[in-house]
Amino acid sequence: MATRRALHFVFKVGNRFQTACFYRDVLGMKILRHEEFEEGCRAACNGPYDGKWSKTMVGFGPEDDHFVAELTYNYGIGNYKLGNDFMGITLASSQAVSNARKLEWPLSEVAEGVFETKAPGGYKFYLQNRSPPQSDPVLKVTLAVSDLQKSLNYWSNLLGMKIYEKDEKKQRALLGYADNQCKLELQGIQGAVDHATAFGRIAFSCPQKELSDLEDLMKRENQKILSPLVSLDTPGKATVQVIILADPDGHEICFVGDEAFRELSKMDPEGSKLLDDAMAEDKSDEWFAAQNKPKASG
């Protein structure tokens, strides 16, 4: 499974301006690309919504060799209810800690040299106050699971992830496809995993030829397939094939054909401007609506 790689985590965001400030100004990430869509995604990339939406990829470097965040914005939806499913992303960056302090972004030290902060919408990030590794500052994504052993069987035996660490007492395990990639941490919790309406999605790539084999495996093992193998188009860019799965706790998992995705995910030097233009148009629309709001009679 060495040819598989961790790609990104999908967040639904209700306020693009505040969110962009957090990722750009606090974390120090770059806008890698920004895309606008007129209707919902066939693989529900933007959640169960059919209207206009946008996708913004942000990270510390190119998607070819960095784990990034995919920020999905559904026009007209200002907030989402958080569940207990997503427990945080951990990254190593003394610069992010310094940025947060300068901007007076709320930080709380939860361990020596480790600070918890929240992105707009309430998503947790853990900032290690140290120099980032050469590969990628994003170290791990932590998801809640209700049965650690059952989840390990799924992620390791079925999806082929290597188990790097396992602690039965603390009910946690660390998995990944390669030493230099962002890891997946599974943390056992009491009770059920609740995804609420903010539920995210973690994405990986594999050689395109493996996608149908993966689909067949999940069928044989009676595992949940949320979206059977489908081709997704992005205007003016490569068409990619994806399959969307769900683990035993309902965490959404996207596998995408690597070859086409590398073409699709090339960094767009206009990405930041495209996002800023879209946000400016948002503000203009809000102003126009406010100016033309019917006045109360009487």
The per-residue pLDDT for 282 is 75
Domain residue ranges in the chain: 5-291
**Pairing relationship of beta strands 86-92 and 124-128 according to DSSP bridges:** parallel
Mean pLDDT of the region 118-145: 95
CA–CA gap between residue 125 and residue 102 (Å, rounded)? 17
Mean pLDDT of the region 168-172: 97
Dump pLDDT digits (tens) for 41-50: 988 899 999 9
Query: Coil, strand or helix: which one is 182?
Result: coil
Mean pLDDT of the region 142-151: 98
Mean pLDDT of the region 196-217: 97
**Share of residues in the chain with pLDDT > 70 (%):** 94
Total-model pTM = 0.93
Dump pLDDT digits (tens) for 199-208: 999 999 999 9
Q: Domain 5-291: which topology?
A: 2,3-Dihydroxybiphenyl 1,2-Dioxygenase; domain 1 (3.10.180)
Do 132 and 93 meet the contact criterion of CB atoms below 8 Å apart?
A: yes
Token duo for residue 121: 């919408």
Between residues 65 and 237, the one the model is more confident about: 65
Do 144 and 195 meet the contact criterion of CB atoms below 8 Å apart?
A: no
The per-residue pLDDT for 42 is 86
Strands (E), the chain: 5-13, 30-37, 53-59, 68-74, 86-92, 108-111, 114-118, 124-128, 138-145, 162-167, 172-176, 183-188, 201-206, 225-232, 240-246, 252-257
